[in-house]
Amino acid sequence: MQEESIHRFDIYEELIEIPLDPIHCESIVQRSALHNWTIKPHQHQELLHIFYFAAGSGQVQLDMVSHQLVMPCVMIVPAQTVHSFTFGTDIDGHVVTLHGRTLDESLGATVEVIDALSKPRIISAAKSAAHKLIGDLFDQLVGEFSGISPVRQVALRAYFSLILVWITRELATEIGRRPTNSLRQDRRAAEFTALVEKHFREGATLEFYAARLSITPTQLNNISRAALGRTAKKVVHDRIYLEARRNLVYTMLTVKEIAGLVGFADPAYFARFFSRHAGMAPSEFRRLSLLGGTP
């Protein structure tokens, strides 16, 4: 059933290897004009997108949530996020793509940066100073990517690192008001959610996650409640539920196949799990989504 899974592209409708550069840059016009300004729902297994929208109009969908873009802004699309776009012909901006492994190994991102890039986000750049700074950084980055100047790769990493600094600082206003112990909890929570992303399909228990973090299940639950506003069990269940919805909406996999994909050996148990979250059976959720409803 591989052909029926969610469409996964390295770069939209192109299988491109990027062996030399740590990142890939292109204009939004360059990509979207090829597809009549509409990019259909798809996801990337290991690639992260960072968009900079300078001006124009557009609507995006991130994991079944629709957003009307308010320019200027920066948008984060992590790996595995199902996303689609409808742009006006006046759209102006850039998109930067990199492999998640590059972020860790080549760019040396900190825990705070990785956490900032861990979920879909749209960050306003409406303040004049913020707009000028992030716009200039993207322009410099794209200029280096398109050129052949000496130490080009060093410059690419430098400008991209400054973009990561801008993103992290823009998101840090609320966090900066929190006490130090909360910041430590945030870091542990980020480690927990990264583990969930790797193992949620395996039916991993809370004891497994706690052991990997060298803490007790009770400590894990307390950290999760404080930093994420949810119990640790709910964090795991929410991730399973999100993946189930993605596959019900964007694939033709059967309910039984989706159950196996998210770690349920018993499809009936999966159906009960899904119904508790959605208030309806998986088949009904799919039917409503196909009818254009909002399950």
Domain spans of the chain, in order of start: 2-176, 181-290
* pLDDT exceeds cutoff 60 at 73: yes
Instruction: Give yes or no for a contact between 28 and 95, defined as CB atoms under 8 angstroms apart.
Output: yes
Architecture category of domain 181-290 in CATH: Orthogonal Bundle (1.10)
pLDDT at 1: 37
Average pLDDT value over all residues in the chain: 86
Long-range CB contact pairs, 271-276, < 8 A, 24+ = 273/237, 273/240, 273/241, 274/241, 274/244
Q: What is the pLDDT of residue 18?
A: 42
Q: Cβ distance 156 to 23 under 8 Å?
A: yes
Tell which CATH classification among 3.40.50.300, 2.60.120.280, 3.10.690.10, 3.50.50.60 matches the domain 2-176.
2.60.120.280
Cα angle 228, 162, 16 (rounded to 5 degrees) comes to: 85
83-87 and 58-62 strand pairing: antiparallel
Tell me if residue 75 falls in helix, strand or coil: strand
pLDDT band at 16 (very low <50, low <70, confident <90, very high): very low
pLDDT band at residue 28 using 50, 70 and 90 as cut-offs: very high
- Please check whether the two domains, 2-176 and 181-290, share a CATH topology: no
